[in-house]
């Protein structure tokens, strides 16, 4: 496995480099042995989830006084990248937890909500982001889920689709409309615990890639929650969702960079070992050029993600850079994984080798947390302002 490139190292501070090395070691030793079976069984191994919590990788930005690691967003991106080098399915579990759920609580939650949920999210509770519906994908605010006031409570009803971490979650951030006549300005975010009466898990999706990451339908039938379950202000859920997804797209970018690096590592290793015509295929210039082009693109993608992270942590505008990074890294991940399969030849088409899975896993990068088309739309709008 190749080491991080020298140019990438120049943008890492010492504590970040230590974190990167620790997570890389963890992923190789504790996650890699589980990857094949987890993919085949389409199930996240309990030992993998337990290990993520024990390593402190599910509460990267949560302050130490609330049980977390007290690090920055950039650190969360490094964690996601290193996990994805080994298994993008495990990486997305930590991604959603850190870049969506934890961030929403930290940025929009009140003191009581943080005190109740942040220690649990850092220690043993998985969170899920419940926004999408059957008719609300790219048009995320065409929500049909409703929340009706009932005394001091709200009753939430509706069906949510494509909910990542849905099976493992102990907490859902559910978006529902409290005032349909107000359109998207009625959308409100609610904290809904797994054991809430009326909440059930529906269909589990049988997916092309990241199969160990659960993706399910969430059914809410008059789920009663107190008014104190509202995150932020009533009717401001649309803003919470937009801001969270802008940050989440950087996390997806980190996942795609890690995936691409994992595919490149596998291709380099195989090229050194595979012999044809009496010599290693790594000696052929065509193979060397292919590997070089892959490495250049992966490095460019990585630095785009790192730049977006630095802007976010520095409190500077980052939406444009996040959209660019999300689009570009998804392109690079798919292209790198595809070329890795090519270099493996027939073996690359077999599930006995890792590049086949990287190729399947890469496709989702152009779809979730904002499709490739939506990222281009964002970039174009910002250019034309």
> Whats the size of the chain, residue-wise?
385
* Collapsed DSSP state (helix, strand, coil) of residue 3: coil
- The DSSP secondary structure of 95-116, one letter per residue, reads HIIIIIIIHHHHHH--HHHHHH
Does residue 54 carry a catalytic annotation? no
| 51-to-27, 33, 48, 54, 78 alpha-carbon distances in Å | 10, 13, 5, 5, 17
**How many angstroms separate the CA atoms of 88 and 235, rounded?**
34
Nearest to 220 by CA among 152, 143, 168: 143
- The DSSP secondary structure of 19-52, one letter per residue, reads HHHHHHHHIIIIIGGGHHHHHHHT---HHHHHHH
| 181-to-108, 156, 184, 187, 240 alpha-carbon distances in Å | 25, 17, 9, 11, 20
Under 8 Å between Cβ of 359 and 340: yes
Candidates 247, 299, 331, 369; catalytic one: 369
Distance, C-alpha 354 to centroid of its chain: 20
Q: Helix 285-313 vs helix 319-344: angle between axes, to the nearest 10 degrees?
A: 160
* Collapsed DSSP state (helix, strand, coil) of residue 135: coil
In a 13 Å sphere around the CA of 336, the CA atoms on its Cβ side amount to 36
* Collapsed DSSP state (helix, strand, coil) of residue 194: coil
**Which tokens in the block code for residue 318?**
């980052």
Return all residues near 238 (Cβ < 8 A) that are at least 6 apart. 141, 184, 185, 187
DSSP class of residue 228? G
Residue in this structure with the two tokens 């975010």, named with its chain if needed: 189
The neighbour count for residue 34, using CB atoms within 10 Å, is 18
**Which tokens in the block code for residue 20?**
């990167």
Nearest to 205 by CA among 132, 140, 290: 132
Catalytic residues: 369
């Amino acid at each position: 496995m190749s080491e991080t490139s020298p140019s990438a190292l120049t943008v890492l501070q010492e504590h970040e480099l230590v974190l990167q090395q620790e997570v890389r070691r963890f992923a190789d030793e504790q996650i890699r042995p589980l990857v094949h079976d987890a993919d085949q069984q389409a199930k996240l191994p309990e030992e993998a989830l337990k290990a993520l919590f024990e390593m402190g990788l599910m509460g990267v930005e949560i302050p130490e006084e609330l049980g977390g690691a007290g690090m920055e967003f950039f650190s969360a991106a490094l964690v996601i990248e290193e996990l994805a080098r080994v298994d993008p399915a495990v990486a997305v579990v930590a991604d959603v937890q850190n870049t969506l759920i934890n961030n929403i609580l930290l940025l929009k939650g009140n003191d009581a909500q943080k005190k109740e949920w942040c220690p649990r999210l850092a220690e043993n509770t998985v969170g899920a982001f419940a926004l999408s519906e059957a008719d609300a994908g790219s048009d995320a605010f065409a929500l049909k889920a409703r929340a009706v006031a009932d005394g001091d409570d709200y009753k939430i009803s509706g069906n949510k689709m494509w909910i990542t971490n849905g099976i493992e979650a102990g907490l859902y951030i559910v978006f529902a409309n409290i005032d349909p006549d107000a359109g998207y300005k009625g959308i409100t975010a609610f904290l809904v615990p797994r054991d809430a009466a009326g909440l059930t898990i529906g269909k589990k999706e049988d997916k092309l890639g990241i199969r160990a990451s659960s993706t399910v339908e969430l059914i809410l039938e008059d789920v009663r929650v107190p008014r104190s379950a509202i995150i932020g202000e009533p009717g401001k859920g649309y803003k919470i969702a937009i801001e969270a997804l802008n940050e989440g797209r950087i996390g997806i970018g980190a996942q795609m960079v890690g995936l691409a690096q994992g595919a490149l590592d596998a291709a380099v290793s195989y090229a050194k070992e595979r012999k044809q015509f009496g010599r290693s295929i790594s000696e052929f210039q065509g193979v060397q050029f292919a590997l070089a082009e892959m490495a250049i693109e992966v490095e460019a993608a990585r630095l785009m993600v790192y730049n977006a992270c630095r802007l976010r942590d520095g409190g500077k505008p980052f939406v444009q850079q996040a959209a660019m990074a999300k689009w570009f890294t998804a392109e690079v991940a798919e292209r790198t994984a595809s070329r890795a399969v090519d270099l493996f030849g027939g073996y690359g088409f077999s599930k006995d080798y890792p590049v086949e899975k990287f190729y399947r896993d890469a496709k989702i990068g152009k779809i979730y947390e904002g499709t490739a088309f939506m990222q281009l739309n964002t970039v174009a709008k910002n250019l034309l302002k």
